[in-house]
């Protein structure tokens, strides 16, 4: 086979490969439709989960995890929590704002992991707006010891077996999205 035929063969092979991807409906990572799909599935899992795990770093740099009752995620994946002003997580966030949030789908068929930075918010209007009546039992003295945590996301990962998002078959690395503007 001469050089010209080799180049034609290579180009035809590449064309067939990409056409076959389109015909099977597989989406290529990094495409707009894949980004939309990942955002949609992540929000679906986060909204369906009633709780999540908030992970902060303790004074020795070890992860400290606890179950939390989050507010629904905002459009940009910012997540809010309420907590006691004197809880350990408040001191941990003051010391190091890096945080991870982990949601598991109710049927255990997928998860969302968010990495970002946590901020403590003590604004009275925001605290009034973000209050759940069922929390009254945890704050018997009223809301004076109530504080908000806002986690601003930097990136998220999503795995969803029902949606075919299973990660890399060799490394198990899940699909992820780096969020801009945060």
Same domain assignment for residues 75 and 23? no
Number of domains comprising the chain = 2
CA atoms within 13 A on the CB side of 82: 22
Same domain assignment for residues 8 and 37? no
Same domain assignment for residues 85 and 16? no
Domain range enclosing 140:
31-178
Q: What is the pLDDT of residue 23?
A: 31
> How far from chain centre, in Å, is Cα 131?
23
- Identify the CATH number of the domain in which residue 140 sits: 2.30.110.10
Same domain assignment for residues 119 and 103? yes
* Three-state DSSP state, 20: helix
Candidate from 22-26, 109-113, 134-138 with smallest mean pLDDT? 22-26
Contacts of residue 56, defined as CB under 8 A and 6 or more positions apart, other chains included, come to: 63, 64, 89, 92, 93, 96, 98, 99, 118
Task: Convert the pLDDT of each residue in 40-99 to its tens digit.
Answer: 999 999 999 999 999 999 999 999 999 999 999 999 999 999 999 999 999 999 999 999
Mean pLDDT of the chain: 85
Same domain assignment for residues 22 and 35? no
């Amino acid at each position: 086979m001469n050089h010209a035929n080799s180049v034609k063969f290579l180009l035809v092979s590449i064309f067939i490969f990409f056409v076959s991807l389109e015909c099977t409906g597989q989406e290529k990572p990094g495409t707009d439709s894949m980004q939309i799909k990942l955002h949609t599935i992540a929000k679906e899992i986060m909204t369906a989960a009633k709780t999540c795990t908030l992970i902060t770093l303790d004074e020795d740099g070890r992860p400290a995890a606890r179950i939390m009752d989050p507010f629904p995620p905002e459009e940009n994946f910012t997540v809010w929590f309420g907590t006691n002003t004197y809880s350990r997580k408040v001191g941990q966030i003051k010391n190091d704002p890096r945080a991870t949030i982990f949601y598991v789908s109710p049927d255990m068929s997928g998860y969302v992991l968010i990495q970002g930075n946590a901020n403590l918010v003590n604004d009275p209007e925001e605290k009034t707006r973000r209050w759940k009546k069922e929390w009254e039992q945890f704050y018997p003295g009223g809301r004076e010891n109530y504080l908000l945590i806002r986690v601003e996301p930097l990136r998220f990962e999503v795995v969803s077996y029902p949606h075919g998002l299973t990660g890399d078959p060799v490394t198990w690395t899940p699909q992820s999205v780096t969020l801009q503007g945060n």
